[in-house]
Structure 1
Amino acid sequence: MYTIGETAELLGISAHTLRYYEKEEIVRPLRDAGGDRRYDESHIKWLQFVIKLKETRMPIASIKKYASLVIEGEQTAGDRLNLLAEHQRSIRAQMQTLQDADEMLTFKIASYRTLAEA
């Protein structure tokens, strides 16, 4: 079991972010006898996934929706599939945009190298 500070450090996020995720019902930490938050390995794995969704620009509203679907159970598998498939399409579009930009930059850099060497 990890404290909120240990969990934040382990995940590279702030304790404030963990509290926000709890407030938004994205994560539901356990509580010890004193009422302090405790996170187990399942919380860590879940939060790692949430962080990846956030890093890949999934809106917080969609992350909340996904979290609520997970809590609702297996009957929401189709909805979860659709939500994640849509996000994957978005990621692939982002990747294509980055690839296109990289190709343009490669061309420009090569052009400037040629000019600089002349």
Structure 2
Amino acid sequence: MYSIGETAKLVGLSTYTLRYYEKEKIITPLRNANGERTFDEQHIQWLRFVIRLKATQMPIAKIREYTELFLEGEHTTRQRLELLQNHQVLIQQQLERLTSVESELQYKIENYEKIMTSTTK
């Protein structure tokens, strides 16, 4: 079992963020005899998944929706699948936009390098 501080360090989040995720019902920590939040390995794995979803720009509302579906049980498998598939489409669109921007940046960089090379001769 991990304290909120230990959990925060393990997953690379602040204790504030962990409390926020609890408030948003994305994670439900256990409580010890003193009422302090404690986290186990399943919590750690779940938080790492949530972090990956956030890294792909999934909104908190969608993460909460996914969490609620997960907690409801296996009968929500299709809904969870659809939610993740829809998000995957958004990720693919993000990748296409980033690839396009990266190409434009590469073009500009090459032009500046040519200018710099020609002015130093």
Q: TM-score, normalised by structure 2?
A: 0.94
Residue 103 of structure 1 corresponds to: 103
C-alpha distance after superposition, 1:6-42 (max 9, x if no partner) = 0011111111111111111110111111111110010
User: Which sections of structure 1, spanning at least 5 residues, go unmatched?
Assistant: none
Residue 23 of structure 1 corresponds to: 23
Give the 4+ runs in structure 1 shifted more than 3 A.
none
Please give the alpha-carbon distance, in whole angstroms, between the structure 1 residues aligned to 2:65 and 2:75.
Answer: 14
Residue 73 of structure 1 corresponds to: 73
Q: Does 1:36 align with 2:39?
A: no
Please give the alpha-carbon distance, in whole angstroms, between the structure 2 residues aligned to 1:35 and 1:53.
Answer: 29
Q: Which amino acid aligns with 1:25?
A: K
SS in 1 for 2:2: coil
Q: TM-score, normalised by structure 1?
A: 0.97
Would you say how many aligned residue pairs link Structure 1 and Structure 2? 118
User: Which sections of structure 2, spanning at least 5 residues, go unmatched?
Assistant: none
Residue 93 of structure 1 corresponds to: 93
Q: Which amino acid aligns with 1:4?
A: I
Q: CA RMSD in A?
A: 0.8
SS in 2 for 1:34: coil
